[in-house]
Amino acid sequence: MKTIIRLLWIGVLTAAVCPAAEKKPQPSGAASEASVQELQDQPLEPWRLELLDVAFETAAKMPIKPHLKDRSRTQAMVVETALKLNQPERALRYLQQIENWRRGACLADLAVYAARQQNAPLAEQYLRQAREIAEKGLSGAHQEPVQEWRRDLIQSKIAQGYAQLGQLETALKAQEGLEPSQRGKMLLGDSQLQQKDLFDKEVQRLDSELKQNNADVRNNVLFSYAQMYEMVYDRQEQRSQLEEKIRNSWSPLPVFLRIQLLTRLTEAALDHNDSAKALELLDEVRRLMEKYQWPDETQFTLGAPLAALRYRAGQPQEAEKEVQTLLKSYEAKRQSIFNIYRADALRPLAEAYAQMDDKDTALALYKRAVEEGVENLNSRPRAEDLAATCCSMVLFAVEPDAELRERIRQIHKGLGQPW
């Protein structure tokens, strides 16, 4: 766990540890579940599948003792990436190799994915398996006990799965008794929120959560409002209602969370081709950014995605100026950034250039990120950075050239003591 921003933002070469294309592991469960129709991976370029495998195998190289937590967290990141790219079979294959409670969290994520694909039987199957892990943990010598906060994290995802299925009563029961950090995350699916009466009830339910006056709950509820904002964007009255709720309730939040909320609203506007609203929000974010001094690596994590959004909003020259300023700042501050954070700073810049259709500069920055990731002598941070860089390249469709492929192989092969 390198930084809080990495947690909140909120947030991948051939099969050695993960025998990719051989036998697909079957989910555990009753024999009757075997007849449930499985989800299928969507077509994806071979090089992206290769890098996904590299990312997972890199994470799996971390020894269970003493790095089970770091190993499992990084593996879960690769599972998340696979799901974003519509690779549910691959995600299932990966998550079955996670050796702690995060397997349950990933199963719940896969259930949400299945629900969104209208595969209710499979979603319910995965939710049952996730619940079993939340309640009993995993068997085996290396398993961590499922502490209360871990169980609650899984349960909050299970609640989201049932909500996505439209089973609100079951979802509400699943989130009963959760600690505040996990409350306020559950949200009905898009089809339900298109019904005005259900939309109103969902807003009322979240409003009641907000009345707890708890910082964690407030944070979760406001991001749920932001998600709803995107889902009902074409209905101006409801969209405006949600934006007003966010603005009226965010004053106690740290400024970087307010920036994240505004970023989510901007993304929603752009996804609905509303460039005027997006630019209005981006200008507001810019004013907020200029008011504060930011830690060296944080300014890149926050600022680079905003430049990419400005590009999408129709201001390519302004966007280019912003990202160039960030890159110059990195060059000036590189020595003051601890080596395990340098790749974290470069990846958002590479992602921004990729979204601005400058794949050459993006590739050059990914190459630098790979090299910065091996500056530390210990293999654990090396493995974390290599997996994260591979996932980033896959997500933003920046294909490595022959030189970078070979370098990735070398780093992957060279991971070992000291960890």
| pLDDT, tens only, 200-245 | 999 999 999 998 889 999 999 999 999 999 999 999 999 999 999 9
Length of the chain: 419
Q: What is the DSSP letter of 378?
A: S
The CA angle 100-102-105, to the nearest 5 degrees, is: 145
- Compute how many other C-beta atoms are within 10 angstroms of the C-beta atom of residue 305: 20
Name the band, by pLDDT with cuts 50, 70 and 90, for residue 312. Answer: very high
Contacts of 117 (CB under 8 A, 6+ apart): 39
Handedness of CA 145, 148, 152, 153 (dihedral sign): negative
For residues 289 and 326, is the Cβ–Cβ distance under 8 A?
A: no
User: Cα dihedral angle (142, 145, 147, 153), rounded to 10 degrees?
Assistant: 60
Element containing residue 284 per DSSP (H, E): helix 275-291
* Residues 327-332, mean pLDDT to the nearest whole number: 95
Best CA proximity match to 196, nearest among 166, 244, 237: 237
Two structure tokens written together for 270: 């752009």
The amino acid at 366: Y
Q: What is the average per-residue pLDDT within 335-339?
A: 92
> Is the pLDDT score of 1 beyond 60?
no
Q: For residues 51 and 371, what is the distance between their CA atoms, to the nearest angstrom?
A: 17
Q: For residue 351, give both structure tokens.
A: 């992602």
Which of 16-20, 179-183, 228-232 reaches the highest mean pLDDT?
Answer: 228-232
Which phi and psi (to 5°) does residue 94 adopt?
Answer: -65, -50
Confidence of residue 140 (pLDDT cuts 50, 70, 90): low
pLDDT above 70: percentage of residues in the chain: 90
Per cent of the chain over pLDDT 90 is: 79
**What are the contacts of 289-293 at 24+ separation with CB within 8 A?**
289/259, 291/255, 292/255
- Whether the predicted pLDDT of 248 surpasses 70: yes
Question: In the structure, how many helices (H) and strands (E) does the chain have?
Answer: 20, 0
* 3-state DSSP assignment of residue 156: helix
- C-alpha–C-alpha distance, residues 167 and 60, integer Å: 36
Do 370 and 404 form a contact (C-beta atoms < 8 A)? yes
**141: pLDDT strictly greater than 60:** no
394: left (phi over 0), alpha (psi -120 to 50) or beta: alpha
Q: What is each CA distance from 22 to 82, 92, 110, 112, 273, in whole angstroms?
A: 18, 14, 21, 26, 43
Q: Span 87-109, mean pLDDT?
A: 97
Contact 136, 163 (CB under 8 A): no
Q: How far apart are CA 145 and CA 104, in angstroms?
A: 13
Q: Which residue has the tokens 């595969």?
A: 119
Q: What does the alpha-carbon distance between residue 366 and residue 358 come to, in Å, rounded to a whole number?
A: 13
CA-wise closest residue to 89 among 48, 58, 43, 138 = 43
- The pLDDT assigned to 144 comes to 66
